[in-house]
Structures are given as C-alpha cells and as structure tokens.
Structure 1
Amino acid sequence: MLLHELSASRGSLHELPDTADDRTASPIDTHDINDGDRLLLDLSEVDESRYVAVQQVLSDFRSSLLGHNAHLVVVLPHHLSYLLQSNLRRFTVGIGRPAAKRVFVRHLRCEDISPSAEEVGAHDLASYLAQAPLRDVAELADRIKRCRNTSGAERGFSHWLSESLAGQHNQTARVAADISTGHGGRQKALLLSLAMFHGAPPGTVLQATNALLGILSHPPDPAPRLDRADLHAEFTGIGAETLPDGQVQFRRVGYDRAVRDHFWTFLPDIRRQLRDWFGTCLTEPTLTQLDRRKAVERFAEQSLRTGRPEDLTWLADQWTRRGARAHLVADAAQVLALGLDHDQHGRAFRQQIYDWATSTETSPGLKEVLIVVCSETMARSHPDQALVRLHHLARRANGQVRVNAQDALLRLAKSDSRLYLRLLDRLSVGIGQRQWAADFELFLAVADPTLLIGSRAVRESLTMSWTAVLRRPTGSWAAPVGHWLDACADHRHRDPSLTILVAACAADSRVSGHLYRVALGWQRSDAHTPGTGADTVSCLLQKINAAQGIEPYEHAV
C-alpha cells in the first residue's frame, strides 16, 4: 500500500532481488534504481549475515534513491529484530495482522456478497476468524462464493456459511484419536495413501499403500490373499467410501488433510522415506493428470509446512534426469512453481534455480523445466531474477533447449522497458568479457533501433555492445545492421541509430570501412524502402567522416 499510493508518473514498481545474483560486492545494487522507481526489498526470510550486510550499505543506497526521486520499502525479518542498527530504527513502522473480520467482509463484497452485521457476528464464524490464518479466511470466503454459485442465491448467507465452515472443519484431534486406537501398520499406510491420493481409484490407493509398506520395510502379511480383507472392507475400516464414479474418499470433510498433517508432524523421522515413496508413486503412468496435480499440491504443502523445501528440489532433479519418464516433467515444473510461490521458502527456490542455471551439471530436462518456471512463475513476482536465470540458461544450454531459453529471455526482456535495459546492460558486460558466444547472438536478436533509443542509458549500452560486435567477422553482423538501416526510413530513428553505429566504430577506420561497405551492399539490395537507401548511406558516411575528423569538401580550408 505504501508504494501503490505514490505517484506512478515515472519509474516502475518492482521488487529488488533478494538473492546475490552475479554479485560479489554490494548485497544491493544502485544500478537497480531508475528515476521515480518504487522499490520493495523483502528481507523477511534472510539469514543473519545478509541482514547485516544489507544494513551496512543501506545509507549509501538511500542516497542514490534520493538522487533518482525513488522510494524504497524494506520488509524486515521479525526474528532478527535484535540485529537492527540503531541509526535505522527511526525509519521503522510496525505492521500487524489486519482484522480478520474486515478482510473476510471485503473478500465477500468483491464477489457481490453483503451479509448483515448479525450474520457476520455469528458465534461459529467469530470463533473461526479469531484463530484462522488469513489465507484460510480468504479460502472460506471463496468457499462461500462457490456455495452460492452451486446451491443458489435463494438459500441465503447462513446456509452458505454453514456449508463452507463444514468444509474448513479441523479434523486433527479425531485423526490423532483414530490412529492411536487400533490402526496397524497396513491401515496407517492405507490412511496416508488415501490422504495423498484422495479421490483417486482404489487401484491407485492400493499401489501407493504397497509402495509405502515396502519403503518402510514393513513385514508382509503371511496370510493368503483371499483370507485377507478386500479393499472395500479396508476402506470402511478407515472411514472411507467408494463413490459411484469409482473415486475413493474419506466420509468426513477435511479428514484427508488432517491425516497428512498428522504423519508429517508426528512422524518426522520418516519424512525422507515419505519423499522417496511419493517420488516412486508418481512414476506410475496410470495416474490421471488431475490426480497427479492434486497429489503434488498435497505433498508440496506438507514439505513446505515442515520446513523441507529440499524435498521438492530433490524430486524436481530426480524427475528430470536422463531416462526419467516424460510425464514427470510437468510434475517437476509444478513442485518448483509451488515452491517459488511460497511466502517463506520462495527465496530458497530462487537461489536453487540460480545455482542450477549456472551449473554445468544440470541436466537438459531440468533446464527445460527451469525455462518454464522462470518465464511463467518467477517472472510474475521477481522478473529481474527470472531474467538473470534465463540469461544463464541461454548461455549454457545446447540445441533446442538453448533456443527455448533464448526465446523466453527475449520475450521477457521485451515485455518491460526496465527489463530491456537490464538485459542490454548484462549483454554489454558479457560481450566485453568475450566469455559467452551466446551473448553476441542475444544482443543481435534483442537490440532494437526503435525501442527506447531516446534513453541515454540505452544508447550507451547499445554502443558498448556494437563496439565489440562490429569487430567480429562481417558475416556475423551484416544482416542485423541491415535491420538497423531499415529503421532509418523513419527520420525519428535515423540520427540516433546511425550515431550509435558510428560511435561503436570508435574512429577505427578499418571497422568504419567494413560498416560502410555493408551499408553499400544494403543500399544495392531491394530490402529497404525505395528512395531511402541513398539518403541513409549518405548520412552514415557523413557521420563516419566527422568521427574521423574529415571535414566535408565545401568546409575544407
């Protein structure tokens, strides 16, 4: 709200990177500041060392903000409040949890639902709002909306609320009591398998149950199969039923989530085995896409809730290795997307994806997944970091993966002026270092003589890159230069475009000669707009002569 309320006449609203991408000096970079920017720096989940490092440079960063008439909001880590420097305390403002009732009512009003004060003040609802996390409050409002849409408006708010609260009912105590009173190993495995694959067919639940028993080295039942209970009886014994469409589910609403919570909370010593078990279950090709998606969501929820984001990154790596089943690629993308969107662990996933993107050991399959999650998930909330990771992937990948990474990077850069400039800056540095051949290709693909050419920062980056590009073999840049000359048909672009190209020659007569010969070849072709070729080449020659100190004949003494 603080940043949204400011004027948006200049600059942009964006979040500063919360990982130290490609940086060895300052933890925050003044190059991320543009005139009028509204910046957010989220330090809520950083460790002690980064928190201290950021504070040490924050004063200088603030000076740069003032010079650009920009604004910054920093979210501080509550658990590290004792490390806050005394000179910064006067800038802090405490932010608490908003009133749950107010949040709830506003969500409802956005859906054209306006309950009375008496209905909102009902005892059951008040008790729920007093202890529920805000994400559950939002979910309750969404349930009420869905209930209204399915049951009809005539039923009224009280009915919608009653039905929705039933769906939010906490079954934790009941699950704990049920498990402690007589469930054996197989029943517990069946409980968890159904909780993970809730709504799947009986065969899917059975396969998961047997796999879990095997991974936990549970002794097999020595009795002949026909002497043991069938699945119908086993499902009945754990409070589940098979619906007419063949889906199995617990009879009590919310029971499946409570079962998952119980196992991950009270059996922490088998969490690694649960990860291995789940990874094995998803290799089964008979699972429907819907069952897979829901199961991945459930597993990710438990892994993130219990502080094990590494379980998700491990699965993503396993599911994309050479020889892995093709259908696991979508599952790998989903677990990483869920991790990236998590409030607490999102930063850890962005850091892991950076490490993968810069590693030579990352498999082609995983790189394909990273391209998807960077361009479709990370780019929504952290576009700067997505651009950095896509750039590294475009540099290091081969074949079609490289093409896909480059395409995703260029789409992202061209979607926002700030990102376009950021990529130009990165390319100018990379081209100057001559370490990555891909940077030359990327520059020639992204450099646009009609885009932000009036910006001095853009012109400087373009000039730096063209300086190195024009010293490469002519065949590698002749066609892109032709595109730049084409743009000169519009007189608004002619002078700045030609000025950049000539400045890139840096008064080097050999390079200038190559550029001029390419321009003559372009003029003789039919690619340009009729009548503009000669004028453009003449203007180019005048600028080359001026750069080399050659005066026009009529001005010579």
Structure 2
Amino acid sequence: MSDTFTTRVEQPGGPVHAGLGDFYSYTVNVDLGFQESPSRSPRRIADDHLRLLRQQFVDPPGMGMARRVLDASSTVILRGDPGSGRTTAACVLLYEVHQGVGIFRELLPGEEEGALTDPGLVGVGDRLLLNLAEADISQWAQARRDLSALRKTVQEQQAHLVVVMPHDGALESHLQPFQADIARPPAMEVFRRHLRLHRIPYEEYQLPAPALDEFLAEEPSMEEIARFADRVRRARAALPVREGFATWCEQSRDARTQWRKEVSALVATRCAAAQRALLFATAMLHGAHADVIHRGAALLLSTLNTPRDETPLLEGKDLAERLEEIGAAVGPDGRVRFDKLDYDAAVRAHFWDHMPDLRHLFSSWTAQSTELVDPHVTSGLRRTVVRRLADQYMRTGRGNDLAFLAQEWSATPTSRFRLEAAVDTLACGLNDPRYGRSLRMLVYDWCKGKRLTGNLAHVLLRVCIDVIAPTHPDQAVTRLHHLARRERGATPALDALCSLAVTSARLRRRMLDRLTRHSTAPTVDARLFLRICDPVALTHPTGAPRPLIDERGVQDCAVAGWAEALVRLPRPQWQPYAQRWLHAACTADKHRDLLLALLVDAAGRNGSTLAVLYSVARAAEPNAPGGRASGAAITERLLQKISSAQGLRPPAAPTEPAPPRGAAR
C-alpha cells in the first residue's frame, strides 16, 4: 500500500475524490450533473417493498399461528416446503409489527456483520429477518446454538425476529415452542390476488381456462404463479378483449413452453445481417417506438462493423415489411411489439445462448443504446434494456460479471446515461438472491481498496444507498465508510453515511465505535466523527428507553473521538462542531454537565487545548439558544470543569433553589 494518491480533474465543475497515502491510489471523477435528486431513504424503500408484498400476499395455512407466536414471544421460526412463500410470509409478519421505531433488515451470519450473539446487532424496535432456508447443516447447527442469545437481545430491545428454517431441518425442544408450520396457500387464490392487483375485473377471470388449470396442476411456486399472472395481464393488454380469459392463459402457457423452438426456426430462416439485427433490436427494445427500433438495429450493424447495404433507400423494404418478416408490427401507438406474448424474451435468450462470440458486443450495444438521443428514449426504457441484458448474464450463471460490466461502463469518459446504466446493471445483480451475497462482498473489496478510476466511485455510492442499505444497512455503513475515508473535496459518501447512521441509534453507536476504536485512518475518521457524533441526537432517546449519551460505551467513544479531533484537525475544522456541542448543552438540562465533562475530558490536562475550548465557548455565547446570558452560563460552567481538570479549584457546587415557604425541611 505504498502508492501515493493522485487527483485528476477531467470535467469542469465535477467534484473530485482522491484517497489518502495509506490507501491504494485512485482517481474519482463525478460530474455534478450526474448527481440525482435526493432519493428516498433506505428505510422508506424497505417499507414500500414490504407494503407491496403485503398487498400481494394470501395467508397460507398456519399464518395465524405464526402471528400469535410472534406477538407472544417476539420470535417465530417458520418452516415450510420450498415454493410455499416462506420468505414472503416472514417479510409480511415483520411488516405487520412495524412500531414506528427501528428498521427492517436481514441478518447475514457468516458475512462481516458479526455473530448472532453480538448484543449490538439488534437496535430498539428493529425487525429482523434471518433467512436460513438454504443453509447447510453446519450453518443451521450454528444458528440454533446462537438463537437463544439472539432471542434474549431481541426481547430486551423490544424488537421482532422471524427465522426461516430449512424445510428438512430440526429444532431442539427448547426452540420448538417458537416454531410455526406454514403450507402452500391456495394457488388459485394467489393467482386471483395478483389479477386483482393488476386491476382486472372479477368477472373476466371467473371463466373456465384449461391452460390455467394445467399450469396450477404442476404445483408451481408462488413466484411462478406471480409471473404467470403478469403474463395474463400483458396478454389482455395486447389482445382484443373479445379473445377472452382462456386465450390469455393459453398465451401465458405457450410463452413458457413453445416460443424457444419457434425462435430457433425463425433465426435459421432469417440469415441476412439486417434481419437479425432488427430481430435482436426489437427483442431488446421491445415496446419502444418504431424510430427507436430502427435506430437500434442500425446501431447494432455499426457495432458489428457490418458493410452498409448499397441498395437505394426507396428500393429497399420499408420498416413495416421488415418487421412483418420477423413476426412484429407497429401498433396504433407507434410502438413495436411481437405478435406473441413474451416472444421477445425467447429471442433474447436465443441470441445470447447461440451466439456466444457476440455477447461482449451485445453488451457494448446495450450501453450505446442507452445514449441514443431521441424523445422516445425515456429513462424507463433505458433501465429496461439494461435489465434485459442483466437477465441474460444471470440466467446463464454469469451474474458476478455484472460488476465488471458496470466498471467498464463507468470508465472515463462517459455520459450521464451510461453512468446510470452502470448503476442499474450492478443493482440488478445485487438484487438477485443468487448473486447478491458475492456481489456485496465484491463491492466491499472495491470500496475498501480498489483503485477507483473513472466514475466507479459514484456507481458504488449509488448501489450502497439504493440497493444495499434498505435491507443490509450494516453492510452499507461499512462500505460507505471506506468510500468516505477516500474522499477529497465534495463528500457525497460522507453525506450518505451520516444520513444512514441517523436512521437508527444502533447504527450511530456502531459508527462511533468504528471511528474511535477501530480506526485505520485517524485524521479522516476524526472528520467523520464530528459529523456522526451529533450532541442533539445523542441526548434524544428517539423511542429508546434511554438516550445514547447515557451509555458508558458511547461516552468513551465521544471522549476518544473529540480527543483525536482536537489533536489532529486544525481549529477551523472542529470549532463549528464544538460550538454546536456547547449550544446543545444550553438546552439539554439533564445532560448539560455530562456534555461539558466529555469535552473537557477529551482535552485532557493540556492547558493550551483547554484554553482554546474556553475561547470557543466565549465566541459561541452570542448565538447560544436562549441568548447571550444562556451562553455565558455554559461558558462559566465549562470554566469550572476546566479548572477542576487542572486541579486549580473544585467545581462550584450547584445552587439549589430554596424550598417554598412552609415546606418541610
């Protein structure tokens, strides 16, 4: 780690991030134009997702028992067969016990969050999901050993815990009272619930549909039922209503089973490069305006360096004729679609599976297509085409490659649209259960030590905030901390870290511990400490039994953090925070002396530092809450503590008000 950091400004007006000397060298270039408007908080994102799950949910047999166990003991252990909707049931249970304090998150034993027995793992009112449905024998055994300690902490913190156990697992006798078995909910009711959410009238889906009966007889998973219902919705939107429910279900069934064979036959008979380019572009941009499809096909031919067709334009086939050759057409709204439901997905899969030498070029085309300047190329279409490419990577077992694709797309120079595509493609992988864990670890490694060139730091920042934080806030805190340590100039990672830390007293406590007890970059962490250790937040309980400042461990962190800040940072950097600390003492009657004592303890017996603190207090008097008199009283009390620390004289005893006349003494 001997590389020195470098800073290179390549786009005027963009904030520049660079690392310190004891980190790997890296250059970050983020144009302010790329910064999106303030997004929803991670807590809001998580709650919105849980609310949607609740709307889609049909209570399975055993759900009532699960609710009663959770209500009585704050813990329930769910057991059910794969595909029964166990994980969704767990999320719904946690959504229903929302108390207004605490956050929802998934515990991840084996990753860097710490052991399940760590008391600091649970915050007041937290809603915790421990999903062990796919755990192996050793993981499940270890979790059972740790559950008693975790349950105790959950109860002490007035939190709630739902565990999803392996379907073939066993529980010891002392854990069996917390078990609730759930079975598959009625498949038809699940299907109809999705149709109701899609606003399909009840009378339309009450008609017989043999294709639906065949599908449900296979006992599909809840996820497969949701996909089947969504295809029915889209078939209804694409086909005339007179075709009816049975036809929509047939389309949905055939999309699962028939189209891949038909696409293979179609591609075999459409050998011309222009035909295949149009077929691929239509599949990737399916539902886009005809102008966009036309430009997308031309872009693919250009990407592949295909010789240009010299046929005079007026003599060639028009777009309608060319689309008809591949089974697509332009609708009344000007948008291009295949005649068959989900035929586009089969086309995408065929090109990806059977033309492996072109995969990298397909990826390059996707990035370029997001940069097309056209009134019909919307942000939604850009996200859709990126997701469709990401689906191919993940479908074929290459989900981890999405991180390197995001790195390539965020390289300098880049455009705003390509940078957004880089964020979206990495987000697709992080959101996928198969690749989320490995990609989170890769993001951790990159945030901590990778040489971040181009705009990769911005990509990592966005996925930490929008993707990792809603369900894994501890991991987001760790990654944002590493990014914040490496910032210079603008501080988006630090700002995001502070915003995330304030959502939970537990997260704030954890950050104070990281900054003061496990610091590897003291000067940088001293600046971070000043932002995180906010006196108002420390003295306010925010739904907890007591405020953080009353905890001995937090007091020790405050002293250690202030000591580092006073020694390592110039006065102009720490003085505004010290004045805020003093102003907080003006209004925090219960914690006034404690706040001042912590500040004095941080200065130790260093006379010059104590003198500077006193001068800062004098300068803060005019703007103190309650006016100059209030500020002067705090300064006088601070002086007493400084004198006591120097052994000059004991602090003045507080004056007690005289009792009312006639009161007993």
What TM-score comes out, normalization by structure 1 length?
0.79
CA–CA distance in structure 2, aligned partners of residues 499 and 111 of structure 1: 60
Matched, 1:464 2:549: no
- One-letter amino acid matched to 2:575: A
Contact 1:26 1:57 in 2 (8 A): no
Higher mean C-alpha deviation, range 31-40 or range 136-145: 136-145
* Equivalent position SS for 1:241: strand
Query: How far does residue 202 in structure 1 lie from its aligned partner after superposition?
Result: 4.8
1:31 to 112, 120, 128: 120
CA–CA distance in structure 1, aligned partners of residues 202 and 426 of structure 2: 39
> What corresponds to 1:316 in structure 2?
406
1:127 to 202, 214, 236: 214
Matched, 1:381 2:381: no
1:408 to 486, 496, 508: 496
Contact 1:35 1:69 in 2 (8 A): no
Query: How far does residue 464 in structure 1 lie from its aligned partner after superposition?
Result: 2.7
Matched, 1:442 2:538: no
Higher mean C-alpha deviation, range 316-325 or range 68-77: 68-77
Deviation digits for residues 84-131 of structure 1 (CA, Å, limit 9, x no counterpart) = 999999798776654422323444566888848992875443333445
Q: 1:513 to 1:434 in 2, by over 3 A?
A: farther
> What corresponds to 1:170 in structure 2?
254
* Equivalent position SS for 1:470: helix
1:101 to 188, 200, 206: 188
- One-letter amino acid matched to 1:449: P
Query: How far does residue 199 in structure 1 lie from its aligned partner after superposition?
Result: 2.8
Q: How many percent identity over aligned positions?
A: 34
More relative contact order, 1 or 2 (CA 8 Å, 6+ apart): 2
Query: How far does residue 340 in structure 1 lie from its aligned partner after superposition?
Result: 2.5
Contact 2:367 2:418 in 1 (8 A): no
Q: 1:444 to 1:547 in 2, by over 3 A?
A: same
> What corresponds to 1:183 in structure 2?
269
2:510 to 392, 410, 422: 422
1:540 to 638, 642, 664: 638
Query: How far does residue 481 in structure 1 lie from its aligned partner after superposition?
Result: 0.8
The root-mean-square deviation of aligned C-alpha atoms, in Å, is 4.4
Higher mean C-alpha deviation, range 195-204 or range 349-358: 195-204
* Equivalent position SS for 1:355: helix
Gaps of at least 5 residues in structure 2 are 1-88, 540-546, 654-665
Q: 1:63 to 1:207 in 2, by over 3 A?
A: same
- One-letter amino acid matched to 1:413: A
> What corresponds to 1:14 in structure 2?
105
- One-letter amino acid matched to 2:642: I
Query: How far does residue 321 in structure 1 lie from its aligned partner after superposition?
Result: 0.4
Matched, 1:520 2:599: no
Deviation digits for residues 241-276 of structure 1 (CA, Å, limit 9, x no counterpart) = 233554322122322122223444566675455434
* Equivalent position SS for 1:516: helix
Q: 1:64 to 1:252 in 2, by over 3 A?
A: closer
> What corresponds to 2:660 in structure 1?
none
Higher mean C-alpha deviation, range 5-14 or range 258-267: 5-14
Query: How far does residue 316 in structure 1 lie from its aligned partner after superposition?
Result: 1.3
Higher mean C-alpha deviation, range 192-201 or range 104-113: 104-113
Query: How far does residue 309 in structure 1 lie from its aligned partner after superposition?
Result: 1.3
CA–CA distance in structure 2, aligned partners of residues 527 and 193 of structure 1: 64
> What corresponds to 1:253 in structure 2?
341
2:582 to 479, 485, 494: 485
Describe how 1:338-357 pairs up with structure 2 within 5 A. 338-357=428-447
1:137 to 225, 230, 233: 225
Matched, 1:474 2:571: yes
CA–CA distance in structure 2, aligned partners of residues 204 and 36 of structure 1: 50
Q: 1:246 to 1:373 in 2, by over 3 A?
A: same
Describe how 1:152-163 pairs up with structure 2 within 5 A. 161-162=245-246
CA–CA distance in structure 2, aligned partners of residues 228 and 554 of structure 1: 98
Query: How far does residue 443 in structure 1 lie from its aligned partner after superposition?
Result: 1.8
CA–CA distance in structure 2, aligned partners of residues 335 and 244 of structure 1: 32
1:199 to 268, 279, 287: 287
- One-letter amino acid matched to 2:515: L
CA–CA distance in structure 2, aligned partners of residues 222 and 236 of structure 1: 20
- One-letter amino acid matched to 1:102: E
CA–CA distance in structure 1, aligned partners of residues 605 and 232 of structure 2: 71
Matched, 1:307 2:397: yes
Query: How far does residue 406 in structure 1 lie from its aligned partner after superposition?
Result: 1.7
Q: 1:89 to 1:116 in 2, by over 3 A?
A: farther
CA–CA distance in structure 1, aligned partners of residues 316 and 228 of structure 2: 42
Gaps of at least 5 residues in structure 1 are none
CA–CA distance in structure 2, aligned partners of residues 212 and 248 of structure 1: 17
Matched, 1:63 2:149: yes
CA–CA distance in structure 1, aligned partners of residues 450 and 194 of structure 2: 47
Query: How far does residue 235 in structure 1 lie from its aligned partner after superposition?
Result: 1.8
Deviation digits for residues 172-219 of structure 1 (CA, Å, limit 9, x no counterpart) = 4244135326424334443232111113355644554466567779x8
Q: 1:419 to 1:177 in 2, by over 3 A?
A: same
Query: How far does residue 57 in structure 1 lie from its aligned partner after superposition?
Result: 7.5
- One-letter amino acid matched to 2:481: H
Higher mean C-alpha deviation, range 251-260 or range 239-248: 239-248
Contact 2:209 2:249 in 1 (8 A): no
Query: How far does residue 482 in structure 1 lie from its aligned partner after superposition?
Result: 0.8
Query: How far does residue 277 in structure 1 lie from its aligned partner after superposition?
Result: 4.3
Contact 1:198 1:249 in 2 (8 A): yes
Count of aligned residue pairs for this structure pair: 537
What TM-score comes out, normalization by structure 2 length?
0.68
Which one has the bigger helix percentage? Answer: 1
> What corresponds to 1:361 in structure 2?
451
- One-letter amino acid matched to 1:305: R
Query: How far does residue 365 in structure 1 lie from its aligned partner after superposition?
Result: 1.2
CA–CA distance in structure 2, aligned partners of residues 274 and 52 of structure 1: 42
* Equivalent position SS for 2:452: coil
- One-letter amino acid matched to 1:294: T
Contact 1:240 1:250 in 2 (8 A): yes
CA–CA distance in structure 2, aligned partners of residues 539 and 311 of structure 1: 60
CA–CA distance in structure 2, aligned partners of residues 221 and 514 of structure 1: 76
CA–CA distance in structure 2, aligned partners of residues 256 and 36 of structure 1: 46
* Equivalent position SS for 1:119: coil
Contact 2:330 2:337 in 1 (8 A): yes
* Equivalent position SS for 2:419: helix
Deviation digits for residues 361-391 of structure 1 (CA, Å, limit 9, x no counterpart) = 1224121222223222322222222222222
CA–CA distance in structure 2, aligned partners of residues 146 and 240 of structure 1: 16
CA–CA distance in structure 1, aligned partners of residues 436 and 428 of structure 2: 9
Query: How far does residue 328 in structure 1 lie from its aligned partner after superposition?
Result: 0.6
Query: How far does residue 146 in structure 1 lie from its aligned partner after superposition?
Result: 9.1
Query: How far does residue 503 in structure 1 lie from its aligned partner after superposition?
Result: 3.2
